[in-house]
Amino acid sequence: MEPSYIVAIILGVILLLAVIFFLGRKKPELPQGRQESPRLATPDEPAKPSAAEKKGRQERATEKPKSVKSSETPPATREPASAGLTSTEQVSTKPEAETPPPREKKPESSAPEKAASEKPSTEASLRAKTAEEQLEEKKAEPSSKKAETPSEKKPTKPAVAPKAAAPRKQDVEGLRKGLSKVREKEGFFGRLRSLLTGKKELDPSIVEQLEDVLLTSDVGVKTTEVLLSAIRESLSRQELADDEKVWEALRAQAARILHVSGGGGLRLDSSPTVVMVVGVNGAGKTTTIGKLATQLKSEGKTVVLAAGDTFRAAAVQQLAVWGKRVGCEVVRGKDGANPGAVLFDAIQKAKEIGADVVLADTAGRLHTKTNLMDELTKVARTMTKALDGAPHETLLVLDATNGQNALQQAAMFKEVLPLTGIVLTKLDGTAKGGVILGVTAEQGVPVRYIGIGERAEDLREFDADEFVEAMLGRPSKAEEAAA
């Protein structure tokens, strides 16, 4: 063999080895956005493509759809590029699902098939995207509605505000109904009206007749003298020429007596505010506590009821019924237990739960029994140990039907306890009603509440002007017709 042929064979072998070396070398990855021109398959490729060849085929498969015209490419195939996937992720994920088998056709013929296979996956991603958008829209709807609700409720507040100030006149009429016996012909107001109405001229003898009416209406001797002294002076100066001016003078004097500082409602200045309720048996202490608890609960206050009347089992049961009805905590002890210990536990319970008010019931006391009255001072001292300043309110409950006896009760209880207010109950059951003037004038203790019925709302906060208008105001048309 000639040397030239040997050199040619060696060169051919070297060239073949060079081709195989370049084909088997790992191709570097191109940066994102750059593309490589497709490499055509050669007949010298092995039956099983190498890793480099597989990667070259994958790159050619991804390049082919991009080189196709926009009219031939379905719009769904362009969506993944805007869906947030990078070109590196597309190359690394899609070809794994579809690897071309050996001895397959040219890459040009497989490109449309790959584009068709990518279409369902892109449509699925679009459907998933729209579903996520719908879910986000649904989540956004409640928040937008919540944002609109405050603006919708704002117009309603000014509309409700004017209605709160209107019932003033209706309250006077309702109070007049509760004081119907006082305003009857045989009642306090009715007797004054029959005495004064229709008289154009008044003489000094009218004062004696007024005195008789006031004394028999439980106004009291001292209070009657205060009222009549002003009328006598006015009559002597001939300032009261007719019955209308006498009515005005009586109303002015009554309003002056009833305008005592601190009247009307409770003063909730402490937390909790401890209210001690005292009075004789049958005055209505437990019922008053239940009605107060109902009103305070409706105002959003947290109330604790203390069953301090441990000597009367019925009182404890009655308070428990009120507590269940209103929804208040009731602290009670065994029958005959120390009332001071029960009230101490009630105050501690109120501090634990953060209550606003403690309404403490006490056993009924005969105001003539000194030893029983002294026990109230011990109970009050025990409450002070439980909470500094307690009791913050000491309310004396008086039965208006007791008349002059109620005046004596107020005097005796005031000697033992620092009374802060009076609750006058059962005003709807008496035709006299003048006791409210006597108690306020003689004891100087403000009236906080008056009771004119059995319902919880019939326990009303006392307002002096409203009460004078209801008791001594001009008669209504129905009253004039009945007279």
Give the contacts of 119 (CB within 8 A, at least 6 positions apart).
Answer: 74, 76, 77
Beta strand pairing call for 357-361 and 393-399: unpaired
Q: Indicate if the alpha-carbon torsion angle 73, 74, 79, 82 is positive or negative.
A: positive
Contact 275, 395 (CB under 8 A): yes
The CA distance from 254 to 182, in Å, is 15
**364 annotated to a ligand binding site:** yes
**69 annotated to a ligand binding site:** no
Helix, coil or strand: residue 361: strand
**428 annotated to a ligand binding site:** yes
Cβ neighbours, 10 Å, residue 74 = 14
The CA distance from 346 to 360, in Å, is 8
Residue of 459, 355, 362, 454 whose CA lies nearest to 417: 362
Q: What are phi and psi of 319, to 5 degrees?
A: -70, -35
**279 annotated to a ligand binding site:** yes
**280 annotated to a ligand binding site:** yes
**312 annotated to a ligand binding site:** no
Contact 242, 201 (CB under 8 A): yes
**55 annotated to a ligand binding site:** no
Strand segments (E) across 271-336: 273-278, 303-307, 329-331
The encoded tokens of residue 422 equal 């009076």
**178 annotated to a ligand binding site:** no
**97 annotated to a ligand binding site:** no
The CA distance from 448 to 420, in Å, is 9
Helical axes 370-386 vs 404-416, angle rounded to 10°:
50
The CA distance from 360 to 277, in Å, is 6
**363 annotated to a ligand binding site:** yes
Q: Which residue bears the tokens 């500082």?
A: 261
Q: Indicate if the alpha-carbon torsion angle 470, 473, 475, 477 is positive or negative.
A: negative
Give the distance from CA 397 to its chain's centroid. 31
**405 annotated to a ligand binding site:** no
DSSP code of residue 276: E
Cβ neighbours, 10 Å, residue 80 = 17
Residue ranges of the binding site for GTP: 279-286, 361-365, 425-428
Residue ranges of the binding site: 279-286, 361-365, 425-428
